[in-house]
Structure 1
Amino acid sequence: MADAPLPQPISPTSPASADDAPLFAPRKQIYPQAVKGRFRTIKWIVLAITLGIYYFLPFIRWDRGPNAPSQAILIDLANGRFYFFFIEIWPQEVYYLTGLLVLAALTLFLMNAVAGRLWCGYLCPQTVWTDLFYAVERFIEGDRRERMRKDKEKLTAKALAQKTLKHFIWLMIAWWTGGAWVLYFSDAPTLVYELATFQASFLAYVWIGILTFTTYTLAGFMREQVCTFMCPWPRIQAALTDEYALNVTYRYDRGEPRGSMKKNEVLRKQGLPAGDCIDCDQCVAVCPTGVDIRKGLQLDCIQCGLCIDACNNVMAKIGRPSDLIAYDTDMNVKARMDRQPEVRRIVRPRTLFYVGIIAVVGAIMIGSLAMRQSSYLSVMHDRNPLFVRLSDGSIRNGFTIRVANKNLDERRYALTINGLSHTKLDIVGGEIDQEGRAVLLVGPDQTLEARVLITSEAIVLPSSTDLHFTLTDLTSGDVARMNDHFKAP
């Protein structure tokens, strides 16, 4: 048997083996081309509205009275308050925040059930700020072809000046983004003055620096990588979608077989199959993530609709019907190929379920806000000891009470305790009136903590007796109640 030939080493010019192939494909620079059309206009409108709200909302004033901040939306961490126009949320009302998060999640699910990644394509902060950065880049350095040409050529003084100006404007946008964020946590005009005169707290400058860096990096450099690799929503929405959800779809029943415009015209005259797609690649050129939508629905696609505008512009030039790319479903594409009627079911059990849950959660939150009281009572029994036997044989229990006055003026409250007869009430932090009630004075929008001592003159008592604490606002008559227990041997 002849000896097997020895393996030859791979030369530097030889093709690499499969084992030597890189694990990750290198990043391809994407140069999205500007496009005009219906969906691009919608994106500009959404961008203007969302950024206008974000940047200028902290400066809107709302008169709440002399003892409350006048900023319409304010997250007052120092005092544990969240102000939203006429609504004031206290720390113990964190369930309202939970309700808002539930509503946000359900709205996101509903949007996905109706038309796929609408959030990603139009409302996501990453999309909005990246669009703004792209607009600055095009205005200074030119559109797709000009930017590609400049990046290939040797850097000139003009190109360097353009890039410097571009990055300066990017940094200013990112800086104002971070600055606007901290304005939601303090009085905006005051904080702007303090920031400008370097009198603001060190923490404010730190957060502005962090958000400036993240905005500049994510919107200026990482861009589509955030949507493709960092964001979990594409993976989640893929599990939530169904066959009726509208997505940006290449209608291959119309587009295939592809070919040049002249070739396809010849085929049509001969009665042979010819698609409307002329393989111009404009749908790829305008895509902010570099997706070729003709390959089908892909994880990278953010469903922004710019490829629809680009394709419609081409179809108008070559005299073919619009919407070769449109919000559609693969199910409808196959139905048209089989000469079957299309099915569009926006209203279906899935969407009705989401709408119903949103309505229920929203109604609960609105009802809770409408019926919530302006006073809050908390009672905590002493843990150690649970009770004390005095020298005369009577039993005393100690309680710590906390009274919250959510009104914007000073209020007097009366505390009464029922459930146990022949008792004596003492309070530290208040006074006892002639009727035997504990009276407390609580400042506007403040919380008062007091110590209550209840002494029973009875020598024989059950080991636990129910107590009913009633707090009455002597101004408005509002009542807050809390139950606890009187402990005995």
Structure 2
Amino acid sequence: MADAPLAKSLAAPAPASAEEAPLYVPRRQIYPQAVKGRFRTIKWVVLAIALGIYYFLPFIRWDRGPNAPDQAILVDLANGRFYFFFIEIWPQEVYYLTGLLVLASLVLFLMNAVAGRVWCGYLCPQTVWTDLFYAVERLIEGDRRERMKKAKEKWTLEILAQKVLKHSIWILIAWWTGGAWVLYFADAPTLVKELATFQAPAMAYIWIGILTFTTYTLAGFMREQVCTYMCPWPRIQAALTDEYALNVTYRYDRGEPRGSVKKAEVLRKQGLPAGDCVDCVQCVAVCPTGVDIRKGLQLDCIQCGLCIDACDSVMTKIGRPTGLIAYDTDMNVQARIEGKPEVRRIVRPRTILYAGLIALVGIVMIAALAMRQNIDLNVMHDRNPIFVRLSDGSIRNAYTIRVANKHLEERRYTLNVEGLDGARLDIVGGRIDQDGQPILSVGPDQTLEMRVLVTAAGDAPASSTDLRFILTDLASGETARARDHFKAP
């Protein structure tokens, strides 16, 4: 019986009852307090790198030679091209984009299996821009206490001026966010000049307006509501996690029972249990979603680690060990209570599977890029009529061919057909070289569509015969092949 109070004091925080936690809680205004520490520093570094890449990447140049844009990353919707440094993706190669999405999903799953909602806390655009908006707000209106005080006061000229300045900067950030996005769809320096002189296409102004409004609204006003109610990832993440995934955890085996520093000292001298948590509520004050991490894992928590920095700062001041809140697991907390060794298994079947799939998809995509051809040939048989019998008894089939030249200079090709002995190939409107072979000229980074006639003698095989069309680059010898059928009575 002597251990009952101790066991009770080390029990995990009880979940709130249905009466205490209704399905929907009216929004309360959250005023996150500024904090310093290693996780806050990591977030600042990630923010600077992420925004730097997003805002300035469209201005990086990449020389692809003549007849090609020199913007490093460009989504050329008008010509159906996606340029990524030395890679050029055509519309029929959309499987590369599918591979990137699959790769991104697997990386997200691996991050979740290792350390919970790392994406939400550090890399999510909503988190990044909200952090930036909070920084502007603190710079102009002050930290948590000042903002809470001003929210209760009547507006003065000073408060009005601060709010006008804050919202003006927010709108400028949101405007540049929308402006940077449209720069990925056109030559950035040219579009900036056209936007400044009001000569840009109307669609550019429309999308800048839409993205300005959404950024200003989501990062300036909705903030944690986006993470709690709009984003599906917290629900998906909960289904993908397991007991070994590290999460921001309140180590209640150390923290309970809570009490002031003086009260804890008195209890320790009396040999009674006393936790390290002094109930200063700094972990709640710095949380951008207003979560009390001491209640355990919650849907609202984005695992940003700011409560760790706040708690470590308090522990340092009172002379207690840091790490009362840390990346840990409830399983380890229970193990420490029971006197068992901690278990940390980052490498386990789940993470090995995700890492293996990431490697596999990455290797497949790299191999596909390495082996991709710079010419492409597609053949489509005419449906009506399927074949024609000529006056001399021979059989003719008609086809539509499409040749894609992915080189950045004009190329000349020859076209041949195999699989039907004695067959004659004619290209409607095509050139014939001195050897009697049809020649196709295709412009740089273009496609050419032409009609092709294949004629076989009257004694051609009946029904259907497999044909192979062979396109050969006269300069490099590179070939592309396509299969179809020759129809006969």
Instruction: Output the TM-score relative to the length of structure 2.
Output: 0.95
> Which position in structure 2 is the counterpart of 1:322?
322
> Which position in structure 2 is the counterpart of 1:105?
105
> Which position in structure 1 is the counterpart of 2:395?
395
* Amino acid corresponding to residue 132 of structure 2 in structure 1: L
> Which position in structure 2 is the counterpart of 1:294?
294
Map 1:252-263 onto structure 2 (within 5 A). Answer: 252-263=252-263
* Amino acid corresponding to residue 103 of structure 1 in structure 2: L
> Which position in structure 1 is the counterpart of 2:91?
91
Q: CA deviation at 1:25?
A: 2.5
Q: CA deviation at 1:244?
A: 0.2
The CA distance in 2 between the partners of 1:281 and 1:436, in whole Å, is 87
Say whether the 8 Å CA contact 1:426–1:432 is kept in structure 2: no
The CA distance in 2 between the partners of 1:206 and 1:193, in whole Å, is 17
Q: CA deviation at 1:434?
A: 3.6
The CA distance in 1 between the partners of 2:266 and 2:58, in whole Å, is 62
* Amino acid corresponding to residue 48 of structure 1 in structure 2: A
Q: Which is further off, 66-75 or 420-429?
A: 420-429
Say whether the 8 Å CA contact 1:422–1:456 is kept in structure 2: yes
The CA distance in 1 between the partners of 2:126 and 2:197, in whole Å, is 31
- State the secondary structure of the residue aligned to 2:480: strand
> Which position in structure 2 is the counterpart of 1:151?
151
* Amino acid corresponding to residue 205 of structure 2 in structure 1: Y
The CA distance in 1 between the partners of 2:411 and 2:160, in whole Å, is 66
Map 1:32-431 onto structure 2 (within 5 A). Answer: 32-431=32-431
> Which position in structure 1 is the counterpart of 2:435?
435
- State the secondary structure of the residue aligned to 2:471: strand
* Amino acid corresponding to residue 80 of structure 2 in structure 1: G
Q: Which is further off, 381-390 or 248-257?
A: 381-390
- State the secondary structure of the residue aligned to 1:64: coil
* Amino acid corresponding to residue 304 of structure 2 in structure 1: C
Q: CA deviation at 1:214?
A: 0.3
* Amino acid corresponding to residue 121 of structure 1 in structure 2: G
Deviations 1:338-367 (CA, angstroms, capped at 9, x unpaired): 000000000001000000010011001101
- State the secondary structure of the residue aligned to 1:135: helix
The CA distance in 1 between the partners of 2:460 and 2:284, in whole Å, is 87
Segments of structure 1 that go 5 or more residues without pairing to the other structure are 1-17
> Which position in structure 2 is the counterpart of 1:5?
none
Distance 1:24 1:110, change over 3 A: closer
- State the secondary structure of the residue aligned to 1:379: strand
Q: CA deviation at 1:429?
A: 4.0
Q: CA deviation at 1:36?
A: 0.3
Say whether the 8 Å CA contact 1:426–1:453 is kept in structure 2: yes
Deviations 1:31-74 (CA, angstroms, capped at 9, x unpaired): 00000000000000000000000000000000000110000000
The CA distance in 2 between the partners of 1:312 and 1:24, in whole Å, is 32
> Which position in structure 1 is the counterpart of 2:457?
457
Say whether the 8 Å CA contact 2:335–2:341 is kept in structure 1: yes
Say whether the 8 Å CA contact 2:46–2:123 is kept in structure 1: yes
The CA distance in 1 between the partners of 2:52 and 2:175, in whole Å, is 16
The CA distance in 2 between the partners of 1:35 and 1:23, in whole Å, is 31
> Which position in structure 1 is the counterpart of 2:8?
none
* Amino acid corresponding to residue 68 of structure 2 in structure 1: A
The CA distance in 1 between the partners of 2:265 and 2:203, in whole Å, is 67
The CA distance in 1 between the partners of 2:485 and 2:438, in whole Å, is 18
* Amino acid corresponding to residue 116 of structure 2 in structure 1: G
The CA distance in 1 between the partners of 2:379 and 2:460, in whole Å, is 25
Q: CA deviation at 1:435?
A: 3.2
Any runs of at least 4 consecutive aligned residues in structure 1 with deviations exceeding 6 A, and if so which?
none
- State the secondary structure of the residue aligned to 1:384: coil
Distance 1:23 1:372, change over 3 A: closer
The CA distance in 2 between the partners of 1:380 and 1:25, in whole Å, is 60
The CA distance in 2 between the partners of 1:384 and 1:269, in whole Å, is 98
The CA distance in 2 between the partners of 1:375 and 1:320, in whole Å, is 68
Query: In percent, how many aligned pairs have the same letter?
Result: 81
Q: CA deviation at 1:392?
A: 2.1
> Which position in structure 1 is the counterpart of 2:26?
26
Q: CA deviation at 1:269?
A: 1.2
Say whether the 8 Å CA contact 1:111–1:118 is kept in structure 2: yes
* Amino acid corresponding to residue 279 of structure 1 in structure 2: D
Deviations 1:449-477 (CA, angstroms, capped at 9, x unpaired): 11101111224532101111000000111
Segments of structure 2 that go 5 or more residues without pairing to the other structure are 1-17
Q: CA deviation at 1:271?
A: 1.1
The CA distance in 2 between the partners of 1:282 and 1:404, in whole Å, is 63
- State the secondary structure of the residue aligned to 1:421: coil
Say whether the 8 Å CA contact 1:429–1:449 is kept in structure 2: no
- State the secondary structure of the residue aligned to 1:184: helix
The CA distance in 1 between the partners of 2:383 and 2:224, in whole Å, is 57
* Amino acid corresponding to residue 325 of structure 1 in structure 2: I
Say whether the 8 Å CA contact 2:389–2:395 is kept in structure 1: yes
The CA distance in 2 between the partners of 1:461 and 1:265, in whole Å, is 100
Q: CA deviation at 1:260?
A: 1.1
- State the secondary structure of the residue aligned to 1:485: strand
The CA distance in 2 between the partners of 1:480 and 1:22, in whole Å, is 64
Say whether the 8 Å CA contact 2:257–2:273 is kept in structure 1: yes
Q: CA deviation at 1:250?
A: 0.1
> Which position in structure 1 is the counterpart of 2:7?
none
The CA distance in 2 between the partners of 1:461 and 1:354, in whole Å, is 53
Say whether the 8 Å CA contact 2:395–2:460 is kept in structure 1: no
Say whether the 8 Å CA contact 1:276–1:324 is kept in structure 2: yes
**Quick check: 1:487 aligned with 2:487?**
yes
Q: Which is further off, 127-136 or 412-421?
A: 412-421
The CA distance in 2 between the partners of 1:371 and 1:456, in whole Å, is 35
Q: CA deviation at 1:22?
A: 9.1
The CA distance in 1 between the partners of 2:458 and 2:307, in whole Å, is 84
The CA distance in 1 between the partners of 2:312 and 2:22, in whole Å, is 38
Q: CA deviation at 1:24?
A: 3.6
Say whether the 8 Å CA contact 2:416–2:425 is kept in structure 1: no
Say whether the 8 Å CA contact 1:121–1:127 is kept in structure 2: yes
Distance 1:337 1:429, change over 3 A: farther
The CA distance in 1 between the partners of 2:68 and 2:416, in whole Å, is 30
The CA distance in 1 between the partners of 2:25 and 2:117, in whole Å, is 25
Q: CA deviation at 1:437?
A: 2.4
Map 1:462-481 onto structure 2 (within 5 A). Answer: 462-481=462-481
Q: CA deviation at 1:157?
A: 0.7
The CA distance in 2 between the partners of 1:91 and 1:25, in whole Å, is 46
Instruction: Output the TM-score relative to the length of structure 1.
Output: 0.95
- State the secondary structure of the residue aligned to 2:185: coil
